[in-house]
């Protein structure tokens, strides 16, 4: 049963990849991951010097605050841009299909 399914599945998966551009999504996700890791590493390199500054309202060291909350904020921002890029790509593909 499984051997019968695989030959039929491969052309379908390849057609969907060509139609919806999974390669662009992969590139966007890897870019997002690189930006997120880059931010995390940059903050952690300077965390001791940033910890000398206190966040006034929360009374937390700045390095701790940026490492804790900043990584999440950067992740959400980059995820927004990835979704925006994918939406623009999908709009272009829909316009091409209508012609």
Residue 4 is assigned to a structural domain of this protein: no
Question: Per-residue pLDDT for 3 more than 60?
Answer: no
Q: Is 92 within a domain?
A: yes
Specify if 6 maps to a domain. Answer: no
Domain extent, residue 39, equals 21-98
Q: Is residue 77 part of a domain?
A: yes
CA-based angle 29:76:73, to the nearest 5? 130
DSSP E strand stretches across the chain: 54-55, 60-61
Is-contact 66 40, C-beta < 8 A? no
How many CB atoms are closer than 10 A to CB 68?
A: 11
Q: Among the listed ranges 3-7, 10-14, 56-60, which one has the minimum average pLDDT value?
A: 3-7
Look at residue 31 and tell me if it is in a domain: yes
Reported as a single tens digit per residue, the pLDDT across 36-46 is 888 888 888 88
Residues 6+ apart with CB under 8 A from 93: 19, 20, 21
- Residue 85 inside a domain? The answer is yes
């Amino acid at each position: 049963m499984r051997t019968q399914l695989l030959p039929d599945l491969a052309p379908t998966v390849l057609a969907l990849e060509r139609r919806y551009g999974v390669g662009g999504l992969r590139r966007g996700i890897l870019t997002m991951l690189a930006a997120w890791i880059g931010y995390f590493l940059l903050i952690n390199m300077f965390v001791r010097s940033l910890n000398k500054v206190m966040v006034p309202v929360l009374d937390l060291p700045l390095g701790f605050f940026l490492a804790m909350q900043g990584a999440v904020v950067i992740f959400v921002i980059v995820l927004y841009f990835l979704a925006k890029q994918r939406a623009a790509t999908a709009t272009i593909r829909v316009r091409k299909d209508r012609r």
